Amino acid sequence: MARKPDFIVGLDLGSDKTCALICRPASGAKLEVMGLGAAESKGWRKSVIVNLEGAGLSVKKAVEEAEAAAGVPVDSAYVGVSGPHVKGVDSRGALSLGNRRREVTHEDLAKAQRAAHSISLPPDRELLHVEPQQYLLDSQDGIRQPVGMVGTHLEVNVHLVTASSTATQNVITVVNRQGIRLPDNGIVFEPLASAEACLTVEDRELGAALIDIGAGSSGLIVYRERAVQHSAVIPIGGEHFTHDIAVGLRAPVPEAEKMKRAWGARDPEQPLTRAIELPGADERTSSLATYAMLSEILEPRAVELLELVEAELARSGAGKQLGRGVVLCGGGAKLGGLGTLAEQTLELPVRLGVPAGLTKMGEALPDPAFATVVGLVAYGFRQQLSQRPQSQGWTEKLWSILVGGKEG
CA dihedral over 187, 205, 370, 41, signed as positive or negative? positive
Burial of 142 (0-12, 13-18, 19+ CB in 10 A): exposed
- What is the structure's pLDDT at 14? 86
Supply φ then ψ for residue 374, to 5 degrees. Answer: -65, -40
By the 8 A CB rule, do 146 and 109 touch?
Answer: yes
Angle between helices 52-70 and 165-176 (to 10 degrees): 50
Rounded Cα–Cα distance for residues 297 and 295 (Å) = 5
Pairing type for strands 326-329 and 208-213 reads: parallel
By the 8 A CB rule, do 312 and 301 touch?
Answer: no
Rounded Cα–Cα distance for residues 104 and 84 (Å) = 38
Nearest to 198 by CA among 318, 73, 357: 357
CATH class of 200-353: alpha beta
Rounded Cα–Cα distance for residues 192 and 228 (Å) = 9
Rounded Cα–Cα distance for residues 294 and 77 (Å) = 40
C-alpha 29 chain-centroid distance: 22
3 state SS for the chain? CCCHHHCEEEEEECCCEEEEEEEEEECCCEEEEEEEEEEECCCEECCEECCHHHHHHHHHHHHHHHHHHHCCCCCECEEEECCCCCEEEEEEEEEECCCCCEECCHHHHHHHHHHHCCCCCCCCEEEEEEEEEEEEECCEEEECCCCCCEECEEEEEEEEEEEEHHHHHHHHHHHHCCCCECCCCCEEEHHHHHHHHHCCHHHHHHCEEEEEECCCCEEEEEEECCEEEEEEEECCCHHHHHHHHHHHHCCCHHHHHHHHHHHHHCCCCCCCCCEEEEECCCCCCEEEEEHHHHHHHHHHHHHHHHHHHHHHHHHHCCCCCCCCCEEEECHHHHCCCHHHHHHHHHCCCEEECCCCCEECCCCCCCCHHHHHHHHHHHHHHHHHHHCCCCCHHHHHHHHHHHCCCCCC
For the chain, residues with pLDDT lower than 70 are: 1-5, 28, 267-271, 278-287, 388-408
Nearest to 132 by CA among 93, 96, 103: 93
Rounded Cα–Cα distance for residues 238 and 115 (Å) = 39
Rounded Cα–Cα distance for residues 359 and 28 (Å) = 10
Would you list the domain boundaries of the chain?
1-77+354-408, 87-164, 200-353
The 8-13 sheet, strands edge to edge: 187-189, 78-81, 8-13, 17-26, 30-40, 358-359
Which residues have CB under 8 Å from 168's CB, separation 6+? 81, 126, 128, 187
By the 8 A CB rule, do 187 and 171 touch?
Answer: yes
- What is the structure's pLDDT at 280? 57
Say whether 200-353 and 87-164 share the same fold: no
Burial 169-183 (b: 16+ CB within 10 A, else e): ebbbebbeebebebb
Nearest to 383 by CA among 152, 79, 34: 79
Q: What is the pLDDT of residues 63-83, one digit of tens each?
A: 999 999 999 999 999 999 999
Q: Among the CATH numbers 3.40.462.20, 3.30.1490.110, 2.60.40.420, 1.10.443.10, which is that of 87-164? A: 3.30.1490.110
Give the CATH fold of the 1-77+354-408 domain.
Nucleotidyltransferase; domain 5 (3.30.420)
Rounded Cα–Cα distance for residues 31 and 47 (Å) = 29
Q: What is the pLDDT of residues 372-391, one digit of tens each?
A: 999 999 999 988 887 765 44
